[in-house]
Each structure stands twice: as C-alpha cells, then as structure tokens.
Amino acid sequence: MAPNSIHWFRKGLRLHDNPSLREAVRGAGTVRCVYFLDPWFAGSSNLGVNRWRFLLQCLEDLDANLRKLNSRLFVIRGQPANVFPRLFKEWKISRLTFEYDSEPFGKERDAAIKKLAMEAGVEVIVKISHTLYDLDKIIELNGGQPPLTYKRFQTLISRLDPPELPVETLSDALMGRCVTPISEDHGDKYGVPSLEELGFDTEGLPSAVWPGGETEALTRIERHLERKAWVANFERPRMNANSLLASPTGLSPYLRFGCLSCRLFYFKLTDLYRKVKKNSSPPLSLYGQLLWREFFYTAATTNPRFDKMEGNPICVRIPWDKNPEALAKWAEAKTGFPWIDAIMTQLRQEGWIHHLARHAVACFLTRGDLWISWEEGMKVFEELLLDADWSVNAGSWMWLSCSSFFQQFFHCYCPVGFGRRTDPNGDFIRRYLPVLRGFPAKFIYDPWNAPESVQAAAKCIIGVHYPKPMVHHAEASRLNIERMKQIYQQLSRYRGLGESRTQRTCDATHLLLQDNLLCSTHKHTLTLHTECLSNISPLCYKRSVVKSTLLLCGEVLKMIERVLKKS
C-alpha cells in the first residue's frame, strides 16, 4: 500500500526547492501539509502584529498554491507533541517529513517528535534546506567547534563543495497519484486564521509594507536580479538615503520564513554573475548576505545559550546597566535623537530596517550610548523585526555590542553624524517623525541645538513636542569606550597565562595606563587568523587559566577530590 504522508511546515514555507516536501509525495498515496498554530500562544507570544501578519500571509499563499495542485494546507490548532499522535492514527500516517531545523530548541523539539513518530511506526524523513550547507559538516571541518570569526568561516566554506542544487518545485507531475483528502469543513477546521481570530486589534493597522508569501518572494527575487543585472555591479551598494527605505527587491524576511530558498537565491546569483562577467568565477563576497546568515546559524546550532550572556561560552560578560526606563525610550522611539527614533519608528511600523540602521540603533542601545544589555535589544527585535531569526538575531546583537566574534570596538556609530552622512537632507527623519518635519536640514539631526526661533518656526519645541536627547553622546561614548577597554584589557591579562603574568597583576603597576587605542580584541583576531585556533573565546582564556592551574597542581587537586569523595 502506498504510504500516507504528513509534511510538517515550520520554516520553509514554500513549494519550490523543498526537498522534504518532495519526499512526502514520493510514491505516496496521500499527503497532508500541516502547520501548527497555538492560538493561545499567539496572543501571549512576544511576536508583534507585523510578524504574525507576515506569517499568516505566508500560510494563505501556501494554501493558495497547494489548491492549484488540488491540495490544501492544514493549519492545526495546538501543540505538535500533543496533536501528532492523534493525527498519525486518524489519518493512518506512515511517513512524516519536515525541513531540518538547526537551532538548538528546534532540534530538541524535533527529536521528541521523531521519537513519537517512531513509537507510532511512522517513518521520518528530514532534509536540510533552510541553510546552504550542512552546518554540522562545517563544524566537523573546523575540528568540532563552530568558527568564531567570519574570515575563518569563509575559509571553511571555500573548502566545502558548493551547495546542492535546488530541487524541483512541487507540481502536478511530481504529485503523481498522490492526493490530499479534503473534508467539507476543511475551512472551519484547518483554515488559515485571521489576525482578529488570534486576538490582534487590526483597526487602523496600515497595509503591509512587506507582504508575506512564496509568490511575492519569487517576484522579488526576479526584480532583485534584474536590478543587479542592470547595474552590472556585484559589489556592495554604497549607502544612500534611498537604501534606508523598504525596497521592493528586499529579500531578508522571505529568507527568514523560507518563502524563498537560499539555494535558489545562491544559484540565481551565480548564473547571473557568470552571464554578466563572462564566465569568471564568482567571489565569495557575492553571497555576503547568505553567508552571514549561514555563519550565525553555524555559531548557534550547538549552543542552547546563544541568546544569553550568562552561561554562553562565546559571550563576553559585560557589566551592562539594567535600566528599564531608558530601554523603553529606545524601544518606543523617544530617545530624543531623531536618527535613532526614526529608525525605531520604521521598525515598529514596517518590520524592517536597513542593516546599517540596525547597527546604528544596536550600537546606541549597547556599547555606544545607553550601555544596556544586547539581550534586551534582541528581544525588541524579535518582536518587531520580520527577518529576526533566533540565531541571526542573537548573533548579530552579540556582534554589534562587541560581546563576541572578536571585532573592533574603537568605533561607535554617532547618533547624529552617521545619519547626517547617509541622508544629509533628513528626508528619512521627516518621513517617520512628522513632528520634526519643519526643521531645516541643518538641525534635523540635532534639533536641540536649534535656536528657539527655529524651533518655534518648525512648530516643534524640543522638550515639549519632541523629547530632549536622553544622553550626552560625547560623554557617553567616552565613558563606554573606557568601559569596553577595561573589559578587554582584563580579558587580555589572561592571555599570557604563565606565572609571571599572574603575579604581575599583583604588582604595584596594577593600574598601568594603557596606550593601545585599538585594544586587545584585535590581537585576539590576529591570533585566530595565524594559528587557526577556531574557538577560543576571550572567556575561555579565563577558563584556560583555571585549566592550566589544574594541570599545574593536578596532583594536588586529585588529592582534594579524593578527600572530598571520602567525606
């Protein structure tokens, strides 16, 4: 008898290049595509309305595309672990397929479901298609540890075979004799819910700037490539005022939800490059956007505490300030810095901001000005940012707050100057902060410096209609650069290990002035490049001090252990 399959959609919300879906229909008698939604979870989760809307649109689109194949999407209300056993029985299922999820919690969830399925005698087929590569292979190639610098990651990638080609889009031909049994009341039981049904108030909700779904994604990728072909320039586009706005060629949310296959994108880029550049082989930088994503997925896949500072072996412990009021001002676009507030407004309204804008607000919240933990910023992005994926979101925040990955921290984005250089006229600010519309370009980035007459003419008095700046940026960045140096210098003390070092910390020159402005992180990076030590976080130095101590007095410690055991 031909097997009855369930394909379980989580990410990978698409019919093109979906290898596990392809397996679901292969030789099967029936196939049912399910998506689990917990209506109770929806209301209480910390995902914002834009993210929910995007998801629901993806599901609508998926359902519409499945209808064309005489199938439907089954949106199941409930938790997979609770519902699957019933479905297996009710639908006489013998095969379950889903896309591989590399994130630690996803892996845990999937392992539990696999166990359930095995107990029910259901065959489970899992395929990798959310990332370009098998991340475990990258880790294996790196000696069992995820690479901690992007350079190292690139080196490893260049030693791997190119990603596998996309598989064929699900079609009538591929469906073959496989059918989807659909009941009369399918819509009531399994239909895609509306935002209202999930408990969101949609009154006055502006239409989506980023419409969700595979169909939209495929239109966008064509436009994206057309534009690239037209400029015939594959280098990173220089930043300008226009790049700050949502673009109809933007792809990141579609990659996040898997409406667009990263492999499809990869190979389309390759083809186009070869066509335009007359068959020269494309450089790694062509795939920058895809590889960064891959880098963070790799770094996170074996680290369940990747989104935390405490207990996260790759994250430097920085004495961040707890300050809920300041955090709220940042999240609600009330910092008094128009550049920051405009970006945060765009994020809340539209669900997407340019990556340099992300750098600007992340730097402002953490090491640049407010000295607030990156974890707090990450949570706000998780709520608001359409393309925020657990790994990529946490990884980028650690990166931008200089908590990991050995990057430089001498440079903080200025909340006034950075925007001004990008968009001298301030159109971006006027668009998202209409209250400042009347200010001339000269003062739009620092309206608190405008004379009273200018504020009056702009019909916006700073401190009344728009907040005063919440920090003195020059002073804050001076303080914070010092803080960062302190932390990294302390870490670097552990680098030398050896006796003399340890004792030197007890010397009278304990508070020696350091004259190295570029700081010690850079030295870590160099060590990494030259020695190819792939996974020594600054924190590990501390640990390796303990370790070397253990070696040094290993005998003694064994003794302690023995005594302790006896007692």
Partner 1 sequence: MSLNAQHTCYSFSVMQENRPNHSDFVQSSFILCRMKRGLQGNEEEDGGGTSAGPQKGLKQSRKRRTEEECEEEEGGVRWECLPQEILLHIFQYLPLLDRAYASQVCRGWNHAFHMPELWRCFEFELNQPASSYLKATHPDLIKQIIKRHSNHLQYVSFKVDSSTESAEAACDILSQLVNCSLKTLGLISTARPSFMELPKSHFISALTVVFVNSKSLSSLKIDDTPVDDPSLKVLVANNSDTLKLLKMSSCPHVSPAGILCVADQCHGLRELALNYHLLSDELLISLSSEKHVHLEHLRIDVVSENPGQHFHTIKKSSWDAMVRHSPKFNLVMYFFLYEDEFGPFFRDEIPVTHLYFGRSVSKDVLGRVGLTCPRLVELVVCANGLRPLDEELIRIAQRCTQLAAIGLGECEVSCSAFVEFVKMCGDRLTQLSIMEEVLVPDHRYGLDDIHWEVSKHLGRVWFPDMMPTW
Binding mask 333-362 for partner 1 (x = CB under 8 A): ----------------------x--xx---
Q: How far is the CB of 507 from partner 1 (least distance, A)?
A: 8
Residue 388 is assigned to a ligand binding site: yes
Residue 555 is assigned to a ligand binding site: no
Q: How far is the CB of 340 from partner 1 (least distance, A)?
A: 16
Between residue 87 and residue 146, which ones bind partner 1 under the rule CB under 8 A? Answer: none
Q: How many CB atoms lie within 10 A of CB 288?
A: 15
Between residue 223 and residue 252, which ones bind partner 1 under the rule CB under 8 A? Answer: 235-236, 239, 252
Q: Which of the stretches 74-82, 198-206, 298-306, 507-515 binds partner 1 when contact is defined by CB under 8 A?
A: 507-515
Q: How far is the CB of 245 from partner 1 (least distance, A)?
A: 17
How far is 317 from 32, CA to CA, in rounded Å? Answer: 47
Residue 463 in contact with partner 1, rule: CB under 8 A: no
Q: Which is nearer to partner 1, 174 or 479 (CB)?
A: 479
Q: How far is the CB of 259 from partner 1 (least distance, A)?
A: 18
Residue 296 is assigned to a ligand binding site: yes
Q: How far is the CB of 159 from partner 1 (least distance, A)?
A: 16
Beta-strand ranges (E) seen in 10-89 are 30-37, 73-77
Check if the beta carbon of residue 34 is closer than 8 Å to that of residue 6.
Answer: yes
Of 271, 408, 434, 440, which lies in the binding site for partner 1, with binding defined by CB under 8 A? 408
Describe the crossing of helices 262-276 and 288-300 by its angle, rounded to 10 degrees. Answer: 150
Check if the beta carbon of residue 378 is closer than 8 Å to that of residue 307.
Answer: yes
Between residue 183 and residue 212, which ones bind partner 1 under the rule CB under 8 A? Answer: none
Of 67, 89, 115, 151, which lies in the binding site for partner 1, with binding defined by CB under 8 A? 151
SS3 content of the chain, % helix, strand, coil (to 5): 50, 5, 40
3-state secondary structure of 91: coil
Q: How far is the CB of 429 from partner 1 (least distance, A)?
A: 18
Residue type, 163: P
Residue 291 is assigned to a ligand binding site: yes
- The residues facing 31 across adjacent strands are 5
Q: How far is the CB of 510 from partner 1 (least distance, A)?
A: 5
Reference 249, options 361, 163, 352; nearest CA is: 352
Q: Which of the stretches 184-192, 268-276, 330-338, 410-418 binds partner 1 when contact is defined by CB under 8 A?
A: 410-418
Q: How many CB atoms lie within 10 A of CB 421?
A: 11
The full DSSP string for 502-521 is HHHTTSGGGG-----TTTTH
Q: How many CB atoms lie within 10 A of CB 326?
A: 19
Q: How far is the CB of 204 from partner 1 (least distance, A)?
A: 30
How far is 369 from 363, CA to CA, in rounded Å? Answer: 7
The full DSSP string for 411-471 is ----TTHHHHHH-TT-HHHHHH-GGGTTS-TTTSS-GGGS-HHHHHHTT--BTTTBPPPSS
Residue 290 is assigned to a ligand binding site: yes
Q: Which is nearer to partner 1, 165 or 512 (CB)?
A: 512
Residue 90 is assigned to a ligand binding site: no
Q: How many CB atoms lie within 10 A of CB 459?
A: 11
3-state secondary structure of 31: strand
Binding mask 470-489 for partner 1 (x = CB under 8 A): ----xx-xxx-xxx--x---
The full DSSP string for 188-220 is HHHPPPPTTTTT---TTPPPPSS--SHHHHHHH
Reference 539, options 297, 305, 359; nearest CA is: 305
Q: How far is the CB of 496 from partner 1 (least distance, A)?
A: 14
Question: In the structure encoding, which two tokens stand for residue 394, read together?
Answer: 């946490």
Between residue 369 and residue 398, which ones bind partner 1 under the rule CB under 8 A? Answer: 371, 373, 387, 392, 395-396
Between residue 265 and residue 324, which ones bind partner 1 under the rule CB under 8 A? Answer: 283, 285, 288-289, 292-293, 295-296, 309-310, 317, 319-323
3-state secondary structure of 77: strand
Q: Which is nearer to partner 1, 5 or 520 (CB)?
A: 520
Check if the beta carbon of residue 441 is closer than 8 Å to that of residue 450.
Answer: no
Q: Which of the stretches 90-98, 205-213, 265-273, 404-412 binds partner 1 when contact is defined by CB under 8 A?
A: 404-412
Residue 541 in contact with partner 1, rule: CB under 8 A: no
Q: Which of the stretches 13-21, 129-137, 271-279, 513-521 binds partner 1 when contact is defined by CB under 8 A?
A: 513-521
Q: Which is nearer to partner 1, 9 or 330 (CB)?
A: 330
Residue 57 is assigned to a ligand binding site: no
Of 44, 158, 500, 530, which lies in the binding site for partner 1, with binding defined by CB under 8 A? 530
Q: Which is nearer to partner 1, 2 or 553 (CB)?
A: 553
Distances (CA, A) of 382 to 15, 109, 339, 377, 540: 26, 20, 21, 9, 29
Binding mask 36-75 for partner 1 (x = CB under 8 A): ----------------------------------------
How far is 215 from 218, CA to CA, in rounded Å? Answer: 5
Between residue 416 and residue 435, which ones bind partner 1 under the rule CB under 8 A? Answer: 417-418, 421
Reference 483, options 405, 398, 396, 370; nearest CA is: 370
Q: How far is the CB of 145 from partner 1 (least distance, A)?
A: 20
Residue 387 is assigned to a ligand binding site: yes
H or E element that contains 69 = none
Q: Which is nearer to partner 1, 122 or 386 (CB)?
A: 386
Label the pairing between strands 95-99 and 4-9: parallel
Q: How far is the CB of 27 from partner 1 (least distance, A)?
A: 41
Q: Give how many residues touch partner 1 by CB under 8 A.
A: 88
How far is 416 from 450, CA to CA, in rounded Å? Answer: 14
Residue 293 is assigned to a ligand binding site: yes
Residue 546 in contact with partner 1, rule: CB under 8 A: yes
Binding residues for FAD are 289-296, 387-389
Return binding residues: 289-296, 387-389
